Structure 1
Amino acid sequence: MSTLCEELEALLHQCEDGAGEDDRKFMPFQLLQRVLTPERIGAEVDSIGDIEFFLKTSVTTWIQSHGRRIFAILTLLREGHFITKFMGQAFQGTRFDEKLPFSKEELEAFIPDIAPQFYQRQWEFVSPVWSKNVVHREVPPDVRLPFIYNKRIDRGGFGVVYEIKLHPDHQRTALFPGNKNQRIVRKEFKSIALSRAPTFDSAGSQPESQPGSRSDSMATSENIYAKELRNLSILNELKHPNIIELVTSYTYRGKHNLVFPLMEGGDLGGLLRGTRPELFHRNETFLVALCELSSAIEKVHHYTLDKFDIELMGCHYDLKPKNILIQGSTFVLADFGISRLSSESDQELYSGGGSDYLAPECTDADNEFERKAIDRSSDVWSFGCIISEILTYMKMGPAGVKDFRAKREVQIGSRIISAFHQGYQKDNKAFRDWLCLLEGEPDTFSRNIVHLIRKMTALDRSARPSAKEVTLSLQKSSVQAYYLSVRDLYNLLAEKAGDSFEAYAEYTKIQSWGSVLKLTQENGDDAVASGLTDEMDLVKMYTCLAKIQEELEVTIERFEDSLSPLFSSLRSLGEELYDLLPSELGVIAKRYWEIEMVRSEDLGDLLKTAEGAEVVSNRIATLARIKRMSILVATNDAVPLNPTDTCLKIDHSSLRQRAPFGSHTHAELRTQDGSEKKVLVERVQYHRYETRVLGNLLARIESLSALLNSADKPTDFRILRCSGYIHNPSDCAFSLVFDLPERTRSVPKSLDTVITETYKSRERPTLGSRFNLALTLALSLSGFHKVGWLHKSISAYNVLLLIPSDSAAAKNKNTSGWLEDPYLIGFNRSRQDDTLVFTSGHTETEKVAQYYHPSYTPNPGSQRPYRLHYDYYSLGLVLLQIGLWEGLSKLVKVDGQKALSTREMLDHLLKKRVPMLGHYMGVDYQAAVWACLTEFEELGDTTLQQQDNTAHQLRFEERVINRLRKCRA
């Protein structure tokens, strides 16, 4: 059985602290604790014959509580009995182990016989336990640092970098949570004359050394160390994940050391020289890493710490690939030896450092390398150069980077370097030509990044963007790059999934999200993903898109393996992406999604959408169901809306006429239970010679009745419920019968009538209520178009308002109430949006005919087919009336002139009336009206009608509805 002395000798670890001595060992603290148990201590004390038996218990207790390390030293010296000498010293209330190391004088005083031996061996037991601590530590030269690995990995102008590993017993858990054995690095600066902690002046620099006190090199090394220690200590308070963390600092045997976590990926310089790592196989990963690095530079440039009310300006001054470390797929900013953080102006004379990435304003080679004033824009230049090499690596690999560096070689002074300029305020044509080469790549993000690089490397430093602007631009490019990648993966999924409705639904949902942010548009020189703003959480956006990208790859792989994929994760991530949009944009994106999901004319596609409420929204399912039903009815393949529905044809005798309402009629309809209800009757007249197409006309009337009969309509469908239709062959007419809302003390009136009665300024409805009316009508028309129907008779005469019967009370109390509940009527001329569907032509009502688009005005002997954007034009005229609160006849009246044609009327309104809207209703409202009247080109080839109609609907959402949403009273 081994003795305690032998066991303790075996516990000692070889010390790799770089002191240059071979046989230097240290005792791991926790290992010692595990060996020196109370039982083992008691047994060892019992074996020492020089200790009186009656003292053994007291000695054992004292060792356990005060002196395990001292006892271990004595045991190794085989002089355990001297423990009583330590017990007799007057260090009351203090653990003797905490007094280590003892001075030679102290040891000579109470153990003179073994003082030299104890003094030497005690250094094996005083190795420090390391923790995160920016307070500088002076380590005595005889202390043995608990390094079990210490290998030089780099050498610089001012020192050497070592990879080290601390013994697990000598680092606190908090140093590296979850991984006590993590390796770290230390940056050792050149030897200094004095072994002391550096001091700093108010600017964070060490005072100048006296001539002759040390070499210039040593003084510079000490100054670099002092600045880096101060800068890192300050930056540590930010806890920014992309700024190197300072673990601690110490001075040992005349050398200053900074300790950092080990970045296992090396530095960016090494990455650009080697094979592309697996973690960076996606271009988007590089972009995200650049976003994070830019955020770190931004924090250095504008340092704020709210809890201490501190604000500093900083510059790195030495940005280059070697000073950018890599941890996983993350770039980490390092080497702050010549950086500056202060509350003063950020401009100062260039003071050192040198690399190919220095800005051209640093020195003037033509004037004996005169040092120039530099500032944060110099960092932006350097960062732009680094980005250009990264982009080159992404496109061409390490060979491309090597070629790039060779091509930009220039002579500056006596040196030939691969700079990005040719000296002070001199451009490097080879660099600019290379950017053109990179810009020629087909992907969008390359063009975006090159455009950013050009701005960052402008010779005029005042034209360079700030680090914050660079970060924003990179984040926008990252969102766009991830979005385009996701879109391409969805295209691939569509090929694999075939007719998967879930795949299609999620695809169109993502497309709609990208559309509102303008991520698919080609970007000009002044915009990168122009729909994105700094008010959005762009980091969360590209993080969510990255998750979708990964999920799509897994889903596609499952299809390739003939497995059934689950779309729930994609659906959940899609919702998360929508939640990141501002509320207004979220509404717009969902409306874009509606348009895409119900654009199909295929009955099978519409059935899937109608039955897919769990995949899409209930609203989209409802729209699809209505559109499908209308197509079925129009093709004489109709099925009832619900199983309990009955025929919508009404017997003429059940209708009791009351009074005319414009071109319509108020009436009362007797129901099957004998009760009566108020209705509005819209007459559809046809000529006797049209009886040859009576079947088509009947199908259209049945289809329209069934559509308007549905009680299950979205709330923004401001249309009356249709009870059915009446056919009176003797009068060559159909009649659509609509239920009027059951309101007491209310009178239905047309918008034209209300305007005529209240055009005086004191009687007009409030501005806010007019904004709401305009938006409500636009939304209603949009919904109607989505289900594939054209209105054809939009006018102020076909907007129904329910007006309180006590008009005087309404005027005195709340005129805004007049406009809160509008209904779009006049559907007697509506039809399905299909050029092959029968239409009965233009209305013969002269007043309503004013609202027709000029291109639809019939010519003798010909009839141009009605188009979707003609409805937008008619709506524009109604919006113009709402804005100016005038009848259309007054708005188009020109003194001394004959009646205007529809084309002349439009020209007059655009020149004289629409410009007035800006003063009355604001520029957004004016722009919406202008768009309705002018911005929807007439459709061309009818074979592309559905495609063009979808584009028109999207444009209507953007240029009309979105603008009306912005209008506020």
Structure 2
Amino acid sequence: MQSEPDSIVEKSPKGRFIRFNEQIGKGTYKTVYRGYDEESGCEIAWNVVHLDQLPQQEERKRISEELNILNNIKHPNIISLINAWISKNKCEVIFITEIVHGGSLKKHLRKIQRPRLKILKHWCREILKGLEYLHSISPYPVIHRDIKCDNIFINTHNNQVRIGDFGLAIKLQQQDFTQSVLGTPEFMAPEIYEERYGPPVDIYAFGMTCLEMATQRRPYEECTAPNQIYQKVINRIKPKTLDLIQNQDLKEFILKCLEDQEKRPTASELLNDKFLNESEDDNQHVVILEEEQSEQILESNILKYDPVFREQLDFDSSILIQLNESDEMHIKITFTDLTKYNSSFQEFIKTSVQKYSDLQKPEQFAAFQEEIQKQGGIDKAVWVKPSEESKKIMKTQFLQSLEQFQSTVSTLLQDVDINEWELIEQQILVQFQQQRKQAKSRLPN
């Protein structure tokens, strides 16, 4: 017989906290139940981490770090830790946090669909106040590293927002940067992949969270694999969903958060941004393109270029790239280091070209050239016609063959009687004429 959700199934060692049979959340290694604090008379969140399910010692260390961080954090926009203990019999760590009625912002957004602009601004201020506090903790700032709607919780009784789930958080300690590559790919700043980052990564993730709040769409939903997201992020290609937002001030606010880390504003600076000031449009809903229009934009953006790679590495260390099947012109890339041409380079090219509306425009192609040369091992990139390129290849290969032939004949003629040279010359001429006809027939019309 199953227990009722409000039945008591467990008590804390000292009897202060009780756990009900109602699960309110679940992660990879953590399960969250509704509970009750008999000392305060308040409901609480009873978090259970199953130690035997953690894959390695590093994960256990992260749980310990999360508890250590939560134990020293007190702020109205951050979920508070109340108590914690280890259950050796069950191989579990239990920690008690305050419960936030309303659940995650992600869950709340599904209910309300599109928020009014003033509500979105309120949520932004609340999150930024929490981040401002974390980043100003002395002596060592705390980086959350996993800011997203799933980890932001909302009290639907008073619309207060709180940051939770500090499982990936870290104290910066003595160094100005940290190096672990952790987080949710859609919300990870470029510098995380470069393994040298600090508090600005939370601002980048906050920008992506704003984007999700406004559109109810996951950033980079056009990507089907983490590697595609990675290629877009490191090449600073913004999510396509950003084009759906019609509120220009909101879009500019998000773009500020997605700048390179040297230019990215702090939480304190964003709290003073003009976007968060009251305006006459605050009672309007966030405006995004209608479903049908947005699907058309996303689809057209995805299908803009479909590069095909044609290799001629053995000829002159180059490749030809046809951006679309019907294109007459190809991009020729010549390498100084052939090891740079691999599947990762192809993925980079496929992602990079999507940034440009028309690569045949000189200014756009110049930007593309500069971008690919930063990859290293590349001499140049130019536009070519495949037919002219084929003629060059044929001519070069013919001259190379002729040089080899001359070298061979010179050796042979040393042993031939001079009276037989005329006959040999005639035979060679016939062979050359036949070769020329075959080569000409292979050339494009």
Q: TM-score range by the shorter chain?
A: 0.5 to 0.7
> Is 1:350–1:374's contact at 8 Å kept on the other side of the alignment?
no
Partner residue of 1:200?
none
Instruction: Name the CA shift for 1:227/1:351 in 2 (closer, same or farther; >3 Å).
Output: farther
Distance in 2 (alpha carbons) for counterparts of 1:222 and 1:258: 14
> Is 1:346–1:375's contact at 8 Å kept on the other side of the alignment?
yes
Partner residue of 2:60?
222
Partner residue of 1:269?
106
Instruction: Name the CA shift for 1:435/1:281 in 2 (closer, same or farther; >3 Å).
Output: closer
> Is 1:158–1:221's contact at 8 Å kept on the other side of the alignment?
no
Gaps of 5+ in 2: 1-5, 285-445
Counterparts of residues 179-190 of structure 1 (less than 5 Å): 180=41, 182-190=42-50
Deviation track 1:456-493 (CA, whole Å, cap 9, x = no partner) reads 112x22111112112221xx433333x5559x9xxxxx
Q: Offset of 1:256 from its aligned partner?
A: 0.8
Counterparts of residues 140-219 of structure 1 (less than 5 Å): 147=18, 149-166=20-37, 171-172=38-39, 175=40, 180=41, 182-191=42-51, 217-219=55-57
Q: Offset of 1:273 from its aligned partner?
A: 3.0
Q: Offset of 1:284 from its aligned partner?
A: 0.7
Match for residue 345 of structure 1 among 161, 175, 178: 175
Q: Offset of 1:386 from its aligned partner?
A: 0.6
Matched, 1:321 2:149: yes
Letter of the 1:335 partner, please give it. Answer: D
Instruction: Name the CA shift for 1:320/1:128 in 2 (closer, same or farther; >3 Å).
Output: same
Distance in 2 (alpha carbons) for counterparts of 1:127 and 1:14: 18
Partner residue of 2:14?
128
Match for residue 133 of structure 2 among 293, 299, 311: 299
Distance in 2 (alpha carbons) for counterparts of 1:480 and 1:127: 50
Letter of the 1:283 partner, please give it. Answer: L
> Is 2:116–2:282's contact at 8 Å kept on the other side of the alignment?
no
Letter of the 2:103 partner, please give it. Answer: G
Match for residue 97 of structure 2 among 260, 267, 276: 260
Please give the TM-score of this superposition, normalised by the length of structure 2: 0.56
Q: Offset of 1:164 from its aligned partner?
A: 2.0
> Is 2:7–2:21's contact at 8 Å kept on the other side of the alignment?
no
Instruction: Name the CA shift for 1:315/1:230 in 2 (closer, same or farther; >3 Å).
Output: same
Q: Offset of 1:157 from its aligned partner?
A: 2.3
Partner residue of 2:422?
none
Instruction: Name the CA shift for 1:216/1:151 in 2 (closer, same or farther; >3 Å).
Output: closer
Matched, 1:477 2:303: no
Distance in 2 (alpha carbons) for counterparts of 1:456 and 1:485: 21
Deviation track 1:751-802 (CA, whole Å, cap 9, x = no partner) reads xxxxxxxxxxxxxxxxxxxxxxxxxxxxxxxxxxxxxxxxxxxxxxxxxxxx
Deviation track 1:388-416 (CA, whole Å, cap 9, x = no partner) reads 111224xxxxxxx26x653x325443xx6
Partner residue of 2:199?
376
Report SS of the residue matched to 2:73.
helix
Deviation track 1:325-382 (CA, whole Å, cap 9, x = no partner) reads 111212210111221224423411024333421112322xxxxxxx622211111111
Letter of the 2:9 partner, please give it. Answer: E
Distance in 2 (alpha carbons) for counterparts of 1:163 and 1:249: 15
Distance in 2 (alpha carbons) for counterparts of 1:245 and 1:318: 17
Distance in 1 (alpha carbons) for counterparts of 2:130 and 2:233: 28
Instruction: Name the CA shift for 1:466/1:478 in 2 (closer, same or farther; >3 Å).
Output: closer
Q: Offset of 1:162 from its aligned partner?
A: 1.7
Matched, 1:409 2:223: yes
Report SS of the residue matched to 1:348.
coil
Q: Offset of 1:150 from its aligned partner?
A: 3.0
Deviation track 1:862-921 (CA, whole Å, cap 9, x = no partner) reads xxxxxxxxxxxxxxxxxxxxxxxxxxxxxxxxxxxxxxxxxxxxxxxxxxxxxxxxxxxx
Partner residue of 1:40?
none
Structure label with greater radius of gyration: 1
> Is 1:162–1:187's contact at 8 Å kept on the other side of the alignment?
yes
Q: Offset of 1:243 from its aligned partner?
A: 0.6
Deviation track 1:290-318 (CA, whole Å, cap 9, x = no partner) reads 10111101111111xxxxxx433221111
Distance in 2 (alpha carbons) for counterparts of 1:148 and 1:159: 15
Match for residue 241 of structure 1 among 66, 70, 76: 76
Q: Offset of 1:437 from its aligned partner?
A: 3.6
Distance in 2 (alpha carbons) for counterparts of 1:225 and 1:316: 14
Gaps of 5+ in 1: 1-12, 18-25, 27-125, 131-145, 193-214, 304-309, 364-370, 394-400, 489-969
Matched, 1:387 2:210: yes
Matched, 1:312 2:140: yes
> Is 2:33–2:45's contact at 8 Å kept on the other side of the alignment?
yes
> Is 1:265–1:326's contact at 8 Å kept on the other side of the alignment?
yes
Instruction: Name the CA shift for 1:285/1:354 in 2 (closer, same or farther; >3 Å).
Output: closer
Instruction: Name the CA shift for 1:337/1:346 in 2 (closer, same or farther; >3 Å).
Output: farther
Q: Offset of 1:224 from its aligned partner?
A: 1.9
Partner residue of 1:286?
120
Instruction: Name the CA shift for 1:331/1:466 in 2 (closer, same or farther; >3 Å).
Output: same
Distance in 1 (alpha carbons) for counterparts of 2:25 and 2:115: 27
Distance in 1 (alpha carbons) for counterparts of 2:257 and 2:7: 52
Match for residue 360 of structure 1 among 183, 190, 194: 190
Instruction: Name the CA shift for 1:270/1:234 in 2 (closer, same or farther; >3 Å).
Output: same
Distance in 2 (alpha carbons) for counterparts of 1:453 and 1:15: 45
Instruction: Name the CA shift for 1:152/1:336 in 2 (closer, same or farther; >3 Å).
Output: same
Distance in 2 (alpha carbons) for counterparts of 1:352 and 1:281: 30
Q: Offset of 1:219 from its aligned partner?
A: 2.1
Distance in 2 (alpha carbons) for counterparts of 1:162 and 1:360: 36
Matched, 1:467 2:267: yes
Q: Offset of 1:428 from its aligned partner?
A: 2.8
Q: Offset of 1:452 from its aligned partner?
A: 1.8
Instruction: Name the CA shift for 1:316/1:127 in 2 (closer, same or farther; >3 Å).
Output: closer
Q: Offset of 1:258 from its aligned partner?
A: 1.4
> Is 2:220–2:241's contact at 8 Å kept on the other side of the alignment?
no
Matched, 1:455 2:256: yes
Report SS of the residue matched to 1:362.
helix
Report SS of the residue matched to 1:217.
coil
> Is 1:190–1:221's contact at 8 Å kept on the other side of the alignment?
no
Instruction: Name the CA shift for 1:263/1:462 in 2 (closer, same or farther; >3 Å).
Output: same
Counterparts of residues 440-451 of structure 1 (less than 5 Å): 441=246, 446-451=247-252
> Is 1:361–1:424's contact at 8 Å kept on the other side of the alignment?
no
Matched, 1:425 2:234: yes
Instruction: Name the CA shift for 1:353/1:190 in 2 (closer, same or farther; >3 Å).
Output: farther
Give the number of equivalent residue pairs: 275
> Is 1:313–1:344's contact at 8 Å kept on the other side of the alignment?
no
Letter of the 2:264 partner, please give it. Answer: R
Distance in 2 (alpha carbons) for counterparts of 1:412 and 1:227: 27
Instruction: Name the CA shift for 1:183/1:471 in 2 (closer, same or farther; >3 Å).
Output: same
Counterparts of residues 54-133 of structure 1 (less than 5 Å): 128-130=14-16
Q: Offset of 1:281 from its aligned partner?
A: 5.5
Counterparts of residues 590-739 of structure 1 (less than 5 Å): none
Letter of the 1:160 partner, please give it. Answer: T
Instruction: Name the CA shift for 1:165/1:282 in 2 (closer, same or farther; >3 Å).
Output: same
Please give the TM-score of this superposition, normalised by the length of structure 1: 0.27
Matched, 1:16 2:16: no
Q: Offset of 1:248 from its aligned partner?
A: 1.0
Q: Offset of 1:187 from its aligned partner?
A: 1.6
Partner residue of 1:524?
none
Distance in 1 (alpha carbons) for counterparts of 2:30 and 2:58: 11
> Is 2:215–2:244's contact at 8 Å kept on the other side of the alignment?
no
